[in-house]
Amino acid sequence: MQQILQKYAHLLVNYCVSLQPGQRVYINSTTLAEPLVREVYREALRAGGIPMVSIDFRDQGLILLEEGNAEQLNFVDPLYAMAMQEFEAYIFIRAPFYSISPKTVPLEKQQLYGKARAPYSKIYSERTAMLDMKRNLCEYPTIAHAQNAAMTLEEYADFIFNACCLYEENPAEKWRELSRFQQQIVDVLNTKDQMQYKGDGIDISFKVKDRIWINSDGKTNMPSGEVYTAPIEDSINGSIHFAYPSMYMGQEVEGITLWVKDGRVEKWEAKKGKSLLDSIFAIDGARYFGEVAIGTNTRIQRPVKNILYDEKIGGTVHMAVGQTYLQCGGKNQSSIHWDMIADMKNGGEIYADGEKIYDSGKFLFV
C-alpha cells in the first residue's frame, strides 16, 4: 500500500498538476485520506512547491449547517478563498465518510452557506477554464463508496488503483499513451458539426460546430479517459435512455429516459428516483445540456455508482444536464451538473456529419 500511495502521489503532483518550484498547491480532503495526503504533501515539497493542506473531520460540514448562525455560515475559510483566487494548483482528494448524508439540514441554511462560497466557485471555474489554475479531482478508497459499488474496501482500492494505472511501472507514461490516442479523436471531432448517438433506446442528435472537444487525459481528473464538449444549446433533439444507475445528491436513480426538443428536456421518466428528476428539472438551466462526452477508459468496465469512474467507462457515452464547461465554448448556466451514462458496447453507433465513426464501443478511424 505504501508503495502504491507513493506512486499515486507522484502521479498527482508531477503529471496531473505538473507542480513547479515556487507554485502553491491547495490540498483538500478528509481525515480518512490522511495516508495519501501525507504522501502528496511530501511529493509537493520534493517538487519545490508550496503545499497548503485543508482536512475535514467526520461530520464537520453537517455540524456547521446544524449549529451555525448566519454570521458563521457566511464566513469563508481565508485559506480556501486565497487558494481559489491566487494558488497555481489544487488537488481535491475525495474520501467520504458516508455515501448518503445521514441527516437533512434546513434548505435555507444550505443556501446561505452556498451563496457565501459562490463567488469563489465562480472564480475557480473561470481560472480553470483559462488554464490559470491547474486542478485535479481524485479519490482515496473508503468504505462509503465501496459499499455503493458492492465491493469490499480491498476490492474497491484495487479497482481505483487499476483505473489510475498505478500497478504499471510508469503510470504517467500510460496516461501519455491515452492522451495521444484521444488526441486523434478530438482532432477529428473538432472538424465536425452534426453529431448523432444511436443505440438501444438512444436516438439523439446535436450540433457542435465551433465548440471545442477536450482531451481529458488525467490532468484534471484521475482517473480519466473521455473526450467531451458542450453542445450547441438549442440544437439537441431526440430521446436517450441511460441504462447505468446514477447517484446524485445522495440519491440513487435508475433507468432514466429523456425526451428533448430544440435543446430542452420536455419529458422524463425513471424506473427509480423519478421524484429527484422532478425536483432537479425545476432548477434554472437544468433542462438544457452542458456536456456531451464519450468514455474511453477500458480499465473501467462496470459502473460503481461513482461518476468520477462511471463516466469514463470504455464503450459508453454520457450527457450532462445543467452547467456547461466554459473552456468548450458552452453557454448554459445552472447550479447543477448531472452526468447520465448510456451503454454503447452492444450495437451503439455514433455518426458525425452523416458518417459512422463509432460502433459498439470503438472508434472506426483510430
Strand, helix or coil for residue 327: helix
Q: Is residue 158 part of a domain?
A: no
103, 191: one domain: no
| Residue 236 and residue 189 share a domain | yes
Residues 131 and 182 in one domain: no
* Pairing mode, strands 349-352 and 89-94: unpaired
Position 335 scores a pLDDT of 84
Is residue 25 located within the same domain as residue 65? yes
Residue-wise pLDDT for 262-309, tens only, equals 999 999 999 999 999 999 999 999 999 999 999 999 999 889 999 999
Tens-digit pLDDT string for the chain (366 aa): 899 999 999 999 999 999 999 999 999 999 999 999 999 999 999 999 999 999 999 999 999 999 999 999 999 999 999 999 999 999 999 999 998 777 778 888 988 998 999 999 989 988 998 889 999 999 999 999 999 999 999 999 999 999 999 999 999 999 999 999 999 999 999 999 999 999 999 999 999 999 999 999 999 999 999 999 999 999 999 999 999 988 887 788 999 999 999 999 999 999 999 999 999 999 999 999 999 999 999 999 889 999 999 999 999 999 999 999 888 999 999 988 999 999 999 999 999 999 999 999 999 998
If asked whether residues 57 and 178 sit together in one domain, one would say no
- In one-letter notation, the amino acid at residue 247 is M
Tell me how many domains the chain contains: 2
* Whether residue 180 is found in the same domain as residue 112: no
* Torsion 8-12-18-19 (CA) sign: negative
Instruction: State the pLDDT at residue 304.
Output: 93
List Cα–Cα distances, 53 to 84, 138, 184, 276, 286, in angstroms. Answer: 13, 15, 37, 35, 34
pTM of the entire predicted model: 0.90
Residue whose cell numbers read 431526440: 238
The three cell numbers of residue 269 are 421518466
Measured between alpha carbons, how far is 230 from 234 in angstroms, rounded to an integer? 11
Q: What is the DSSP string of 350-363?
A: EEETTEEEEETTEE
Q: Which amino acid is at 344?
A: M
pLDDT on residue 110: 86
Task: Look at residue 159 and tell me if it is in a domain.
Answer: no
Range of the domain at 209: 171-363
Strand order in the sheet with 50-56: 50-56, 24-30, 89-94, 134-139
Q: Which residues pair with 318 in a beta bridge?
A: 293, 341
CATH number of the domain where residue 58 is located: 3.40.1830.10
**Average pLDDT across the chain, whole number:** 95
> Which pLDDT tens digit goes with each residue over 54-68?
999 999 999 999 999
Residues 176 and 299 in one domain: yes
